[in-house]
Every structure is written in C-alpha cells, then in structure tokens.
Amino acid sequence: VDPLDATRLREDFPILSEEVNGHRLVYLDSAATSQRPLAVLDAEREFLTHANAAVHRGAHTLAAEATDLFEDARATVAGFVGAEAEQLVWTSGATMGLNLVAYSIGNASVGRGAPASAGLALRPGDEIVTTAIEHHANLLPWQELAARTGAVLRHIPARDDGTLDLDAASEIIGERTRIVAFTHVSNVLGIVNPVDELIALARRVGALTVMDACQSAPHLPLDLPALGVDLAVFSGHKMLGPYGVGGLYGRAEVLEAMPPFLTGGSMITTVTLDHAEYLAPPQRFEAGTQPIGPAIGLAAAVRYLDGVGLDRIHAHETMLAERMRAGLVEIPGIRLLGDAEGAERVGLWSFDVDGVHAHDAGQFLDARGVAVRVGHHCAAPLHSRFGITASVRASTALYNTADDVDVFLDAVSGIRPYFGV
Ligand code: PMP
C-alpha cells in the first residue's frame, strides 16, 4: 500500500495546530477520543444549517430531507463495517451498545420478547465468558446481567505478554457457555486479539458472540459479517466522529430475536394503554429522538477514513508503533505492557515508568506539549493482572507523524532523570 501523508492530513484537523504549554501539541490520546476533521464538523453544521428536523413521519420537506440524510448515514456507517443498513442500530456509544445487549438478554431471561427471544434467555448456572483484559464497558454489563439471572461469569486469562490464553479459552468455553464477550483490540495493550478463534470456539457450543470494536474500527479494515460475530459495538468519537453517537451491529436473526431495552417513542407499531407491539430492528432499539446530526457527522467520518483507506492507516500506525517501541525499549526503567513478540497491533503502547507515578509522568509530558492518558484506562483488572494500578498510554491515529513519536520519545527519556530516579 502507498504510504499515507500524515503531514497533509493534519491540515484537515485544525486542533492539531494548537500550542500547548508553549509547545506544538503532540496528540497521543486518540484511544480516549480522536480528533475530528473539518469534513465531520462541516457535515453536522451543514445539516443543522439547512436540513435540521426530527426524522420519520414528518409531513414537511425538511423532515423528509433529514430522514434521508439520517438513513443514508446509517447505510454509510453500516457499509463501513461490511453490513447492511438494517443491521446497524444507532446508540450513544459503545457503552450504550453493550448495555443494550446485556439488558435485552436480561429482558429475554424474564420472558419478554417474541418467541424467538426465549433462545437468548439465561438460566441460573448458564455461563457468560469475558476476558481478563476488557474495558469496564465490556465487563460491568455482564456482571450485572449475571447477578440478575443467576448466570456465572467466567474469564479467559491473559498471558504475561498480554495475549489471551487460547488453551484456557477452549477449556472455559463449554457446554454451559451462552455468551462470549471480548474486545477486538485492547485499549491498554494494543494487541489485535485472535477473534476468529474465539468466534469459532463460541460457535462450537452455540454461544452468542459480542465484540467490542471501539479500538479496531478506526485502525483496521473491518468486515463484521465476514468475521461471523453476532453483535459488535463501536463509538463515533473514537473514529473521527462526534460525541454521543455509536453503532451496534447485529446479525439479522440475532437482532430479530432481541427484545427492546429502552422503550418509548419511535419504536412501536401499535400501542394501547396496556400493551405495545414493537417495530423490527433496528428501530426496535432506537427509542426516543436519535442523535441525528452526530449520526450524519459519523457518516462523514467513516467516509474520511475510507477515503484514506484502512489498509494504509493500519500500515502507517504500525510504522508509528514500531518506532515508538524501538525508542521506548532503549529508555531505562520503562516497562511495556503487552509487548508480545510477533503480535499484530494497532499504534498504541501503555507502559510503567519505574519509580514514577503515571500521573507525574503524564504531567511531565504535558508540560512539553505531549498529550497522553494516565491511570487504569477503565481496565482495572488488567492492571491488577500486571501488578500495577496505573500506566501511561500513548495512542496514535492516522494524523500522527514520525516526528510526533520522536518528540514523545525525547520527552519520555527525560522523566526518570527529572524525578531523580
Ligand atoms: N471499549 C473500549 C475498548 C474502549 O476503549 C472504550 C472507551 N475508552 C469503550 C469501550 C467505551 O466507549 P465509550 O466511552 O465511547 O462508550
């Protein structure tokens, strides 16, 4: 693939020209939230300036225009992950998408939904399998669902190098497993997980698969139907799009069987004072006024990503990750998390600085214009697994340059000397 010209792309992201503490901003926090190109800001502004109206059932011209733009956005975002428009449910983000799935299954477990929903119901002793490296968003909804249904939560462990232990996985995923929920890419380790194998293990026992694609959608080409996963979620703001919008992808039969989670306007066929009939997916899961402008903005974001090309983005970020690793391993006292040999990765590294708290390291870097994230990154169990409570995370996106990495490395090499360790 042709290398991408990140210096050129940066012109589309005005915020990257900001100065921070007297230094050029080196933004290495895209795993928390990405920056947005002008095309995304313009798409939302254009919608709000010329076509803003509530969608569906409007009798007026603007409502029809807004509906077209909103449904076109759905088709565009669905297409970005290889799916059909009907397979894409708008959510407010990945957290909402995962809670939607868990609460829907909880509702099926108390007998709600169509006859097909019974197939999703959990009974006491059924097992939900997650992994030891999940973001809390793909852990807590399952803890809650287990507590409500009497299901048992089990975890696929991580090896010392941060890779998932597939031998253990094939033991753990068994006859009682009903759900296997896993992240495509860890937001702390940056390793691309062997999701094909996990899906195959789950299928062998007829378990439902739920994938957190937050950290893969902006970085790797994704074809969710080809992957064969049942359900997957992503967040708009991590993939150059607006806050407050995200997607839940589902296989048609699975979405069809799921009872609604949130209920209210815009998701019914008939309502009486005592009873309601619900629309087919995706509308069944879209109660209330949707984030219309953000959805249109997200469509512009995925068009931008597609325009650059996910293969080129992945190759560029792989180069940045290798450059970062090569520099970090030379700096005394830096311990990388998830430095697995030969693993496929996205462009992020988390690390511990011996003798310096992650928050102090983060402030030191910020004073030099380098924006990183510090803490447990909403993955506290993963940090416990590695015997630490916090780490420093540097995460790249398509707009980062080799120079960003060099400025970052130079700053990191100053941390321990500065703190006298
Ligand atoms: N999963 C992963 C892997 C994430 O990195 C994040 C965001 N840090 C989430 C889920 C939650 O995303 P959101 O806060 O946008 O709902």
Q: Does one domain contain both 276 and 382?
A: no
Q: Does one domain contain both 81 and 151?
A: yes
Q: What's residue 66's pLDDT?
A: 96
Quick one: average pLDDT of 59-70? Answer: 95
| C-alpha–C-alpha distance, residues 369 and 389, integer Å | 25
E-strand stretches of 170-255: 177-183, 208-212, 231-235, 246-250
Residue type for 298, please? L
| C-alpha–C-alpha distance, residues 33 and 35, integer Å | 7
Name the percent of the chain lying above pLDDT 90. 98
Q: Does one domain contain both 351 and 259?
A: no
Q: Does one domain contain both 68 and 104?
A: yes
Alpha carbon nearest to ligand 1 atom 12, residue: 94
How many whole angstroms from 34 Cα to the centroid of ligand 1? 12
Model pLDDT for residues 212-268, shown as the tens digit of each residue: 999 999 999 999 999 999 999 999 999 999 999 999 999 999 999 999 999 999 999
Q: Does one domain contain both 268 and 201?
A: yes
Helix or strand or coil: residue 103?
A: helix
Model pLDDT for residues 336-383, shown as the tens digit of each residue: 999 999 999 999 999 999 999 999 999 999 999 999 999 999 999 999
Number of domains in the chain: 2
Q: Does one domain contain both 357 and 385?
A: yes
Pocket test for ligand 1, best of 98, 195, 215 (most atoms within 8 A of CB): 215
For 21: left if phi > 0, alpha if psi spans -120 to 50, otherwise beta; the answer is left
Kindly tell me the sign of the dihedral angle through the C-alpha atoms of 237, 241, 243, 245. Answer: negative
Q: What's residue 60's pLDDT?
A: 94
Q: Does one domain contain both 314 and 290?
A: no
Q: What's residue 225's pLDDT?
A: 98
Atom of ligand 1 nearest to the CA of 237: 15
**Comparing C-alpha atoms, which of 55, 84, 103, 64 is closest to residue 295?**
55
Model pLDDT for residues 374-408, shown as the tens digit of each residue: 999 999 999 999 999 999 999 999 999 999 999 99
Residue type for 57, please? R
Reply yes or no: is the peptide bond before residue 282 cis, omega within 30 of 0.
yes
Quick one: average pLDDT of 280-287? Answer: 98
Residue 243 makes CB contacts below 8 A (sequence gap 6+) with: 33, 93, 236, 237, 294
Tell me which residue has tokens 């996963």. Answer: 229
Model pLDDT for residues 162-219, shown as the tens digit of each residue: 999 999 999 999 999 999 999 999 999 999 999 999 999 999 999 999 999 999 999 9
Count of all residues that appear for the chain in the document: 421
Residue 2 pLDDT > 90: no
| C-alpha–C-alpha distance, residues 78 and 250, integer Å | 10
Give 120's pLDDT tier (boundaries 50, 70, 90).
very high
Pocket test for ligand 1, best of 235, 237, 376 (most atoms within 8 A of CB): 235
Domain limit, last residue, from 248, 279, 306 = 306
How many whole angstroms from 105 Cα to the centroid of ligand 1? 21
User: Is 18 exposed, middle or buried, given 0-12, 13-18 or 19+ CB atoms closer than 10 A?
Assistant: exposed
| C-alpha–C-alpha distance, residues 412 and 326, integer Å | 13
Task: Give how far the C-alpha of residue 393 lies from the chain's centroid of Cα atoms, to the nearest Å.
Answer: 16
Q: Does one domain contain both 222 and 83?
A: yes
Helix or strand or coil: residue 85?
A: helix
Question: In 10 A of CB 323, how many CB atoms?
Answer: 18
In the structure, which protein residues have their CB atom closer than 6 angstroms to any atom of ligand 1?
Answer: 32, 93-95, 135, 137-138, 183, 187, 212, 214-215, 235, 378
Q: Does one domain contain both 177 and 107?
A: yes
Report the mean per-residue pLDDT for the chain.
97
Q: Does residue 1 belong to any structural domain of this protein?
A: no
Backbone angles phi, psi at 335, to 5 degrees: -115, 115
214 is catalytic: no
Q: Which of 168, 340, 378, 388 is catalytic?
A: 378
Q: Does residue 36 belong to any structural domain of this protein?
A: no
Backbone angles phi, psi at 407, to 5 degrees: -60, -45
Task: Give how far the C-alpha of residue 221 lies from the chain's centroid of Cα atoms, to the nearest Å.
Answer: 14
Q: What's residue 57's pLDDT?
A: 79
Domain limit, last residue, from 266, 288, 306 = 306
Helix or strand or coil: residue 138?
A: helix
Q: Does one domain contain both 10 and 77?
A: no
Alpha carbon nearest to ligand 1 atom 7, residue: 32
How many whole angstroms from 94 Cα to the centroid of ligand 1? 6
Counts for the chain of helices (H) and strands (E), in that order: 15, 17
Q: What's residue 94's pLDDT?
A: 98
Alpha carbon nearest to ligand 1 atom 8, residue: 32
Quick one: average pLDDT of 110-138? Answer: 97
The packing angle between helices 140-149 and 94-109, to 10°, is 10
Q: Does one domain contain both 255 and 343?
A: no
How many whole angstroms from 95 Cα to the centroid of ligand 1? 6
Q: What's residue 98's pLDDT?
A: 98
Pocket test for ligand 1, best of 91, 92, 95 (most atoms within 8 A of CB): 95
Helix or strand or coil: residue 155?
A: strand
How many whole angstroms from 375 Cα to the centroid of ligand 1? 15
Residue 132 pLDDT > 90: yes
Token pair, residue 27, equals 């933004």
Q: Does residue 38 belong to any structural domain of this protein?
A: no
Q: Does residue 130 belong to any structural domain of this protein?
A: yes
Q: What is the CATH number of the domain that holds 394?
A: 3.90.1150.10
* Domain interval for residue 148: 43-306
Q: Does one domain contain both 394 and 248?
A: no
Q: What is the CATH number of the domain that holds 277?
A: 3.40.640.10
| C-alpha–C-alpha distance, residues 81 and 302, integer Å | 10
Q: Does residue 189 belong to any structural domain of this protein?
A: yes
Q: What's residue 58's pLDDT?
A: 79
Domain limit, last residue, from 306, 337, 361 = 306
**Comparing C-alpha atoms, which of 97, 301, 122, 344 is closest to residue 211?**
97
Q: Does residue 37 belong to any structural domain of this protein?
A: no
**Comparing C-alpha atoms, which of 35, 25, 34, 28 is closest to residue 324?**
28
DSSP state of 345: B
How many whole angstroms from 284 Cα to the centroid of ligand 1? 24
Q: Does residue 35 belong to any structural domain of this protein?
A: no
Q: What's residue 381's pLDDT?
A: 96
| C-alpha–C-alpha distance, residues 188 and 316, integer Å | 20
